């Protein structure tokens, strides 16, 4: 680690990248597995299809490809990267997948670790990395959101299996002493409501030798109370964004783009309505990918940056929310 540079006062956004697996699971195909229909899924969620990982597409593979795209987009030499944070709830290795991504990238000067906060994960990781940069310890960071929830979905549960898909996205961010494009953020957790959305470990008792038990490790599929999660999102997300706007002396009409965690089109519409942000400013790609958990925000941002919707100096309000329950918001200027 190089000497601390206390003049680093701000963060700038230098590049984006993403990756999704090739396999497409349409609503029509899901209806061959569970009792549902394209019409039901589309009208309740806005989702038409999602991507499903196969061999060669685990979180390390997807995260690596998204990170490489972001690094190329930023035009960085991988050796100049100081920090890699991987937001995921579905690592390929429970000890952490970020180190494998660091090795695949050849980013040998970067410290790399995982961060778990479910669908708030990318936002929490972006905030975490920004604090390291503003603290003066690191200059360049790659923040990745990657998830493979298809491995943990109960494909017999029509109330939840329709929602999720796999993918990855990444942003390349840099410390600067000239300006700060990370305008502000807020983060919240309410563990008391945690039972609304879980991917819990299955504690199966076994014994090592006589009288010494242990709990073998595996996970139960995703358990979700959809209605409660829905109510939580449409209530808390506008509150946290509105509070952030007020704190930073912004009004919602100064926002160029609202980039919400892509959970459900009805949630996006409702948050937009409450904040009085018109539909054309609310970015959405969940029709194609569903809810890719920690990947949704960078996947959406990368698409909008590459098709030149998001331009230099655009103001982006973003919010992640989900299991924990956890939620957060950030206000940034692109560039
Ligand atoms: N296809 C057809 N019918 C379905 C169905 C499906 N895939 N899933 C549920 N239903 C049925 C239910 O069985 C229920 O039938 P009933 O009235 O005969 O009992 C009916 O549809 C309504 O179910 P309900 O759970 O009230 O639906 P909903 O309008 O709340 O929509 C979700 C369900 C999951 C789409 C919605 O609650 C949601 O999006 N919640 C947020 C979930 C989320 O975003 N999670 C991740 C957060 S990070």
Which residues fall within 8 angstroms of residue 281, CB to CB, at 6 or more apart?
Answer: 255, 256, 257, 258, 272
On the question of a common fold for 10-179 and 183-192+222-333, the answer reads yes
Query: Cis omega before residue 325 (within 30°)?
Result: yes
Ligand 1 binding pocket includes 194 (Cβ within 6 Å): no
Say which of 69, 161, 261, 264 is annotated catalytic. Answer: 261
Q: Is 284 exposed, middle or buried (0-12, 13-18, 19+ CB in 10 A)?
A: middle
Helix axes 59-74, 98-105, angle to 10 degrees: 50
The residue whose CA is least distant from atom 42 of ligand 1 is: 226
Q: Single out the catalytic residue among 119, 137, 161, 264.
A: 119
Q: Does domain 183-192+222-333 have CATH number 3.40.47.10?
A: yes
Cα end-to-end span (Å), the chain = 26
Task: Name the CATH superfamily, with its identifier, for domain 10-179.
Answer: Thiolase/Chalcone synthase (3.40.47.10)
Phi then psi for residue 35, to 5 deg, are -80, 90
pTM: 0.96
Q: What is the DSSP string of 166-219?
A: EEEEEEEEEEESS---EEEEEEEE-GGGGGGEE--EEEEEEEEETTEEEEEEEE
Specify the ligand 1 atom closest to the Cα of 45.
Answer: 35
Report the chain's mean pLDDT, rounded to a whole number. 96
Q: Which residue has the tokens 């018109």?
A: 278
From the CA of 159, how far away is ligand 1's center (Å)? Answer: 5
- Please report which helix (H) or strand (E) contains residue 145, including its range: strand 140-148
119 classed as catalytic: yes
3-45 pLDDT, tens digit per residue, is: 566 677 899 999 999 999 999 999 999 999 999 999 999 999 9
pLDDT, one tens digit per residue, over 227-256 is: 999 999 999 999 999 999 999 999 999 999
Nearest atom of ligand 1 to the alpha carbon of 160: 34
- Kindly list the distances between the CA atom of residue 42 and the CA atoms of 16, 32, 83, 264, in Å, as whole numbers in the listed order: 29, 16, 39, 10
Q: How far is CA 106 from the centre of its chain?
A: 24
Ligand 1 neighbour 264 (Cβ under 6 A): yes
- Ligand 1 centroid distance, CA of 122 (Å): 25
Beta carbons within 8 Å of 177's beta carbon, 6+ residues apart: 5, 7, 8, 9, 10
Domain range annotation of the chain = 10-179, 183-192+222-333
Count other Cβ atoms within 10 Å, centred on residue 310: 22
Ligand 1 centroid vs 195 CA: distance in angstroms?
17
Residue nearest to ligand 1 atom 2, measured at CA: 36
> How confident is the model over 125-159, as pLDDT tens digits?
999 999 999 999 899 999 999 999 999 999 999 99
Is the Cβ–Cβ distance between 324 and 115 less than 8 Å? no
pLDDT at position 319, please? 98
| Residue 322 CB–ligand 1 contact under 6 Å | yes
- The yes-or-no answer on residue 58 being catalytic is no
């Amino acid at each position: 680690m190089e000497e601390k540079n206390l003049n680093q006062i701000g963060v700038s956004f230098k590049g984006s990248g993403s990756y999704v697996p090739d396999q497409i699971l349409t609503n029509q195909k899901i209806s061959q597995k569970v009792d549902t229909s394209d019409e039901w899924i589309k009208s309740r969620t806005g989702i038409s299809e999602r991507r499903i990982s196969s061999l060669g597409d685990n979180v390390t593979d997807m995260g690596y490809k998204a990170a490489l795209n972001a690094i190329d987009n930023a035009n960085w030499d991988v050796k100049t990267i100081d920090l890699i944070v991987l937001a995921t709830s579905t690592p390929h290795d429970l000890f952490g997948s970020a180190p494998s991504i660091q090795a695949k990238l050849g980013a040998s000067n970067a410290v790399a670790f995982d961060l778990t906060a479910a669908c708030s994960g990318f936002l929490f990781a972006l905030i975490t990395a920004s604090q390291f940069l503003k603290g003066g310890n690191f200059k360049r960071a790659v923040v990745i959101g990657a998830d493979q929830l298809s491995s943990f979905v109960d494909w017999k549960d029509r109330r939840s299996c329709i929602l999720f898909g796999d993918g990855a996205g990444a942003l390349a961010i840099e410390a600067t002493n000239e300006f700060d494009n990370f305008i502000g953020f807020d983060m919240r957790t309410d563990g008391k409501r945690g039972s609304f959305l879980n991917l819990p470990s299955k504690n199966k008792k076994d014994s090592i030798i006589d009288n010494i038990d242990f709990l073998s490790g595996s996970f139960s599929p995703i358990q979700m109370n959809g209605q409660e999660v829905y109510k939580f999102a449409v209530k808390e997300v506008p509150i946290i964004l509105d509070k952030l706007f007020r704190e930073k002396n912004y009004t919602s009409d100064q926002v160029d783009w609202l980039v919400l965690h892509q959970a459900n089109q009805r949630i996006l519409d409702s948050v937009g309505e409450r904040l009085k942000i018109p539909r054309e400013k609310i970015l959405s790609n969940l029709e194609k990918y569903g809810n890719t958990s920690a990947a949704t925000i960078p996947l959406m941002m990368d698409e909008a940056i590459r098709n030149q919707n998001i331009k230099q100096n655009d103001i982006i309000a973003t919010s992640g929310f989900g299991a924990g329950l956890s939620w957060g918001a950030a206000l940034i200027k692109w560039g």
